[in-house]
């Protein structure tokens, strides 16, 4: 896993294949909260953006959670909302290998 705030890696994982032999995409959960000067409507805008991408986001007060998001879509979310929201994303494949 790569932590962009600390510029460090903590573990890696090997490619995992589905029943047909295709690589399973890297995916995981994304959470977003507002900065102190960001209006709460920014989370609703992000939720709408995720809906357009095909994800159902769960808004619980000041926290939006999107499950099973792909790496490409998580990067698109960060590119569009990274200046307004605190975005955290944990993307991994099964069975990480410690180093």
* CATH number for 37: 3.30.70
Share of the chain above pLDDT 90, in %: 48
Q: Domain range spanning residue 73?
A: 2-98
Q: What is the mean pLDDT of the chain?
A: 81
Burial of 78 (0-12, 13-18, 19+ CB in 10 A): middle
Residue 69 vs residues 52, 81, 91: alpha-carbon distances, Å: 13, 15, 8
Model confidence at 19: pLDDT above 90: no
Count structural domains, the chain: 1
pLDDT at 85: 95
pTM, 2 dp = 0.71
């Amino acid at each position: 896993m790569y932590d962009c705030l600390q510029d460090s890696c903590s573990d890696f994982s090997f490619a995992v294949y589905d029943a047909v032999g295709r690589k399973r995409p890297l995916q995981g959960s994304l959470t977003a909260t507002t900065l102190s000067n960001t209006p709460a409507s920014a989370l609703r805008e992000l939720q709408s953006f995720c809906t357009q991408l095909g994800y159902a986001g769960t808004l619980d007060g000041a926290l939006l959670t999107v499950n099973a998001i792909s790496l490409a879509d998580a990067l698109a979310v960060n590119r569009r909302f990274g200046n307004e929201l605190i975005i955290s994303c944990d993307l991994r494949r099964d069975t990480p290998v410690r180093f």
